[in-house]
Amino acid sequence: MRHPQLNEHGELRHLLTIEGLPRDIVTHILDTASSFLEVSDRAVKKVPLLRGKSVFNLFFENSTRTRTTFEIAATRLSADVVNLDVRTSSTSKGESLLDTIDNLAAMNADMFVVRHAQSGAPYMIAQHVGPGLHVINAGDGRHAHPTQGLLDMYTIRHFKKDFTQLRVAVVGDVLHSRVARSDIHALTTLGVPEVRAIGPLTLLPPGLEQMGLRVFTDMKEGLRDVDVIIMLRLQNERMRGALLPSSQEYFKHYGLTEEKLALAKPDAIVMHPGPMNRGVEIESAVADGPQSVILSQVTFGIAVRMAVMSILGGTR
Ligand code: CP
């Protein structure tokens, strides 16, 4: 069965997940993002590719980076942007998600950028909307965060060039992380030969080895000779029951310190999707250190989101 995010010609209609996304589409998004990088350095940071289009940011869960970079990206493409303030919207009076969507669609929306705590919410919206409307998943539950996965791949390609020569470690709360899931699918699609998952057993989902990953519960062993370290936030808000003894204990075993970083390759890069818990999953000396590319991820996120929106809008 055709994936709902592709049209009958195999082109991107919505962006819901990286799982199953053909490699040529992933590469096209990354190449298109490259062409947008310089727009942010212009005196007038705008191109007219989405002029006259309306992009609605619908964030039913909090965000700093994703919401603002989608807004900046849409503005740089000359779109009109509406940020629905969910807290003051009529959802607080009991209006359903799909009724909200129908009403916003009636305002001739062209794109919905959706973040939701429920896995699958963007899928439901994509299947509900009419043919002219595009849905972008900006993070759904613990399921997927495709634009974060793509901007992470853009960052890795920028600093490391060749995916087929890399050893990449994904470290921490893999179980609850939509970023981890999107990154793992993207790394596999782009041909990374060795992807490692590192964390306590309580935070590693079953099935990672079947997906071709190497699994480590000892962080020092897992970090040895890696090229890229993707640290993950402890998703306390998605944990049910006590999965960890304490954040101090977690930091001792799974926090990235300068000492542990020294086990990776000397030119290894350190990534984190944010928001960071300093002193829990990463120490400040590493987060702010010379191997950190964490703020580059944010900058590249604008170009990647411009690429996704312009491709969906049919102008790239
Ligand atoms: N990386 C990320 O999704 O950050 P925000 O929650 O701030 O959007």
Which tens digit of pLDDT belongs to each residue from 79-113?
Answer: 999 999 998 999 989 999 999 999 999 999 999 99
Instruction: Read off the pLDDT of residues 222-281 as tens digits, 9 standing for 90 and up.
Output: 999 999 999 999 987 777 666 677 889 999 999 999 999 999 999 999 999 999 999 999
Instruction: Read off the pLDDT of residues 21-54 as tens digits, 9 standing for 90 and up.
Output: 999 999 999 999 999 999 989 999 999 999 999 9
Number of structural domains the chain divides into: 2
Q: Is the CB of 64 under 6 A from ligand 1?
A: yes
Q: Is the CB of 301 under 6 A from ligand 1?
A: no
Q: Is the CB of 149 under 6 A from ligand 1?
A: no
Q: Is the CB of 66 under 6 A from ligand 1?
A: yes
3 confidence band (pLDDT: 50, 70, 90):
confident
Residue 12 covered by a domain: no
Atom of ligand 1 nearest to the CA of 274: 1
Same domain, 183 and 194: yes
Same domain, 154 and 236: yes
Rounded to the nearest angstrom, the distance between the alpha carbon of 82 and the centre of ligand 1 is: 19
Q: Is the CB of 274 under 6 A from ligand 1?
A: yes
**By alpha-carbon position, which residue is closest to atom 1 of ligand 1?**
273
Q: Which amino acid is located at 304 in the chain?
A: V
Look at residue 2 in the predicted model and tell me its pLDDT.
60
- Phi, psi values for residue 237, rounded to 5°: -70, -20
Residue 18 covered by a domain: no
Same domain, 176 and 307: no
Same domain, 60 and 188: no
Q: What span, in angstroms and rounded, lies between the C-alpha atoms of 190 and 292? A: 22
Rounded to the nearest angstrom, the distance between the alpha carbon of 295 and the centre of ligand 1 is: 12
Q: What span, in angstroms and rounded, lies between the C-alpha atoms of 58 and 226? A: 37
Residue 202 covered by a domain: yes
* Three-state SS at 299: helix
Q: Is the CB of 297 under 6 A from ligand 1?
A: no
Residue 9 covered by a domain: no
Cis peptide bond prior to 206, omega within 30° of 0:
no
Rounded to the nearest angstrom, the distance between the alpha carbon of 8 and the centre of ligand 1 is: 32
Q: Mean pLDDT for the chain? A: 95
Rounded to the nearest angstrom, the distance between the alpha carbon of 115 and the centre of ligand 1 is: 10
Rounded to the nearest angstrom, the distance between the alpha carbon of 148 and the centre of ligand 1 is: 8
Same domain, 280 and 261: yes
Same domain, 193 and 287: yes
Atom of ligand 1 nearest to the CA of 66: 8
Residue 8 covered by a domain: no
Q: What percent of the chain shows pLDDT beyond 90? A: 91
What pTM value is reported for the model?
0.96
Summarize the confidence of residues 279-299 as an average pLDDT: 97
Same domain, 67 and 42: yes
Residue 63 maps to which CATH number? Answer: 3.40.50.1370
Look at residue 315 in the predicted model and tell me its pLDDT.
82
Q: Which two tokens stand for residue 147?
A: 């634009």
Instruction: Read off the pLDDT of residues 166-193 as tens digits, 9 standing for 90 and up.
Output: 999 999 999 999 999 999 999 999 999 9
Rounded to the nearest angstrom, the distance between the alpha carbon of 84 and the centre of ligand 1 is: 17
**By alpha-carbon position, which residue is closest to atom 6 of ligand 1?**
63
Q: Is the CB of 148 under 6 A from ligand 1?
A: yes
What DSSP string describes 185-216?
Answer: HHHHHTT-SEEEEES-GGGS-TTTTTTT-EEE
Residue 185 covered by a domain: yes
pLDDT at 1 over 60: no
Helix 23-36 / helix 294-312 crossing angle, nearest 10 deg: 110
Summarize the confidence of residues 61-79 as an average pLDDT: 97
Q: Match 């853009």 to its residue by tokens.
A: 154
Domain housing 307: 23-144+299-313
Residue 15 covered by a domain: no
Residue 4 covered by a domain: no
Rounded to the nearest angstrom, the distance between the alpha carbon of 65 and the centre of ligand 1 is: 5
Instruction: Read off the pLDDT of residues 196-218 as tens digits, 9 standing for 90 and up.
Output: 999 999 999 999 999 999 999 99
Same domain, 196 and 276: yes
Same domain, 245 and 284: yes
Look at residue 240 in the predicted model and tell me its pLDDT.
65
